[in-house]
Amino acid sequence: MSVIWILLLLILTAASPVIFVFFWLRLRKPPVTSLRFFAALSAGIVSLAVAAFMQSLIPSWDRGGAFQEFFNVFIRIAFLEELGRLIILIPFFYLIKRRNPIDAKTCASLGLVSGLGFAMLENALYGIADVSIAFLRAFTASPIHAACGIRVGMAVFYSNKQPEKALFSFIFAVFIHGAYNMTITSPALPSFFAVLIAITAIFSSIHFLKD
């Protein structure tokens, strides 16, 4: 297979969850507009850059032991990536609310899209090294980031009137993200657990998208 076809396959694989969710959200009532969809997708991509910058400021813990694994997985990766998502979604939602008020369902939907934007770019970057990884991540990392995006979107929604719910929603996003990372970095855990966590995470978050 030529390099061009591999690249096209990689792009299609990384973008497939985004394409599916785009049509799904457009068919819902009220639909997410194309402008908001692609704006949220771009916000997710920018949040990856923000998270990567913060991670570059904090070197990975290399002293060994259980604390090293916890720090790298839950703090340096999960917490900073969700914090990067939060940092971008706060001004993003603020700009939207200046034009029209947005409800919980809209925040959850746009949070979902931002999570997929993050995952799409991250999956493509991983897939450059190994195309097979892109296929696996499309069915695990994409649902995880989508679920976390929903939770962080709800954290922003709750932040003004219900700060306890906002904090819980954000912490829950960090927890499921860290748990997923733990399953894919620990050789002692089978890959089945990564799929199980991804499925559980997205189905436990999907109710925020309902009326």
pLDDT tens-place string over residues 103-120? 999 999 999 999 999 998
Spatial CB neighbours of 166, under 8 Å, sequence gap ≥ 6: 154, 155, 156, 157, 158, 159
Percent of the chain with pLDDT over 70: 88
The answer to whether 87 and 44 have CB atoms below 8 angstroms apart is no
Residue among 51, 20, 210 at smallest CA distance from 113: 20
Domains of the chain: which residue ranges?
Answer: 3-209
Single pTM value for the model: 0.90
Q: How many CB atoms lie within 10 A of CB 76?
A: 19
What is the rounded distance in angstroms from the CA atom of residue 32 to the CA atom of residue 100? 13
What tens digit of pLDDT does each residue of 153-204 get?
A: 999 999 988 999 999 999 999 999 999 998 887 777 777 888 899 999 999 9
Question: What pLDDT band is residue 81 in, cutting at 50, 70 and 90?
Answer: very high
What is the rounded distance in angstroms from the CA atom of residue 68 to the CA atom of residue 13? 33
Residue among 157, 9, 167 at smallest CA distance from 92: 157
Structure tokens at 36: 């908001």
The confidence score (pLDDT) of residue 7 equals 61
What is the rounded distance in angstroms from the CA atom of residue 147 to the CA atom of residue 116? 9
What is the rounded distance in angstroms from the CA atom of residue 155 to the CA atom of residue 103? 13
The beta strand positions in the chain, using DSSP E, are none
Q: Residue 61 in 3-state DSSP?
A: coil
